[in-house]
A and B are shown apart, each in its own frame.
Chain A
């Protein structure tokens, strides 16, 4: 897993609520048996018209906007558990997603793929969306070590929460498998101790 510590980047605003994983990556693209290449079809049906041409109104097709940070509306990543959604975002180049709410399964999938979901209040989300919308060059700084998100143009900083174990994983590029394998003895002892449950 890729490490993440600090990130300075412009951001792409997507102020739609309840963006589900079917929008992030539609089911017809889940037939692949590896993890790579999903970025091509990220937000496929919003990004492209039916005839395959680019939908000029969609933000990812707006040349003014770029960056490794996606700023999305409330309840991002709801619906299907498909990790392909996280793979698609990562493959496209996103390392941080900011929203006022994340669906549980997506949040876990993102963290397992080196993507940091940052949850902020609705007010802060609206401020960031406003700044980024007004000026695509708006720089954001994410400081994972200090759990701080800063909008450089306004100087406003926001603290964010992250589970300390997951923070350690992200800072060091560790994943859960290594950790669980190191607990094999405890797991076997647990199995041996079980009666009915």
Chain B
């Protein structure tokens, strides 16, 4: 039988099938962080269950950490307790932790790929919905709840029904200044915020084939924003080159053997999907969102659509925007470049390519939050730090930061923030904060201009991009 990439990886991890019920799926790698793991550790202890495969668990502290003065004790006592509890739990159960101050610490979905923990053909889970990021490697990766974190601790498995399959194909040449973020925001705007519920997505076509691993991660990261549990891209030479030589990647002959296996993973010619969509790359413009779910996106020069339903009206009321309104020229006081969606070195190179030699507008607070300690070092070593600092941007230390505003990095009520993160939900970046999702390039241009500008009309700026 012809199989999809998803079928091949899923089927090779099925331990058993419950008659008339779910399947037992084996999990290769389990990533954990401070916010969604304490109750799972507590459950193990209450029930006196040992951690089954501690060497397959990797921990970091990211959601709830300050992005300033990470060498000092955490000021917020509840955050401090949560981060300390992660350290205690990891020590007690023998789990590797890249905590605050460790050179490998970072947002879980930035840290794991850059260390080579993420590899094609694996199953990976984490108590975080953006675990879909790792699908960029041809990995089945998805977010789980804390009860499931405890299940994986106890058995290295989960009980799941196999999702349906969807393929989204984008072919053609992307327009100038259209980035992977724009591609995924476009897809979500076209299909809607719950179009992927019950499905696992494969992204196919030359747009994804020609994308860097960083770009593929941005795309797969936001699969959950259309409701899909995860998204995958077939592993290819770009993937193998990225994985090769990384800290925890297989080495030498072992690597070659793995590559030979990984090459068997792409979807068979003629394999069938439950649902297929196709888009033309040439139709995609730089995208910004105007509402309170990631599906409410539009081309940067377009006007907010007119729609008469209470949820839509509530959303625009929250955003302080009107139907038919254009956002070009809208004054913006906050810009955030960071999050598991866009905080990799390539994202900052693209932002720097625009910012170089310019100044941020006086009204703008512009925050740069690297996704990991390694990215922070790259920003220094590759000369981006001078560019950002000369332009008046504030560079912080790594963490989830203003993407979810669990720490001090919040956007004030009523203020707009052009953000490279993944969710524009009400209050996501702080109570009353109004989020406009965009690419790192649109964010950089907004910071410099102090308002939303038509980046598609700008000259080529991607000299830094690989």
Contact = CB atoms under 8 A, between A and B. Distances in A.
Q: Do A and B bind each other?
A: yes
B229 A31 contact: no
Contacts of A197: 9, 12-13, 121, 261
Contacts of A177: 43, 47, 49, 150-151, 154-155
Nearest to B80: A31
Nearest to B146: A83
A103 B145 contact: no
- The winner among B78, B227, B432 for most chain A CB atoms within 10 A is B227
B20 interface: yes
B: contact size bracket:
35 or more
B426 interface: yes
Interface residues of A, number: 54
Given A18-B193, A102-B197, A176-B147, 17 more contacts: A17-B311, A18-B311, A28-B405, A78-B293, A81-B145, A83-B146, A109-B147, A112-B148, A163-B21, A163-B22, A163-B161, A180-B154, A180-B159, A181-B49, A183-B15, A190-B16, A196-B121
B330 interface: no
B47 A78 contact: no
Interface of B: 9, 12-13, 15-16, 18, 20-22, 24, 26, 35-36, 38-39, 42-43, 47, 49, 63-64, 76, 78-79, 81-82, 85, 121, 127-129, 143-148, 150-151, 154-159, 161, 163, 193-194, 197-198, 224, 227, 229, 257-258, 261, 293, 310-311, 314, 404-406, 413, 423, 425-428, 431-432
Contacts of A134: none
Given A183-B16, A190-B26, A113 B147 contact: yes
22 contacts: A18-B193, A20-B423, A22-B423, A23-B427, A26-B431, A31-B81, A31-B406, A50-B431, A73-B311, A78-B193, A80-B404, A81-B127, A103-B197, A164-B20, A165-B20, A176-B147, A176-B151, A177-B47, A180-B154, A187-B155, A187-B157, A197-B9
- The winner among A18, A73, A190 for most chain B CB atoms within 10 A is A18
A16 B311 contact: yes
B133 to A, nearest CB: 13
Interface of A: 15-18, 20, 22-23, 26-28, 30-35, 45, 50, 73-75, 78-83, 86, 101-105, 108-109, 112-113, 163-165, 175-177, 179-181, 183-184, 186-187, 190-191, 196-197
The 8 closest A-B pairs by CB, nearest first: A165-B21, A197-B12, A83-B145, A112-B147, A109-B145, A31-B78, A180-B155, A81-B143
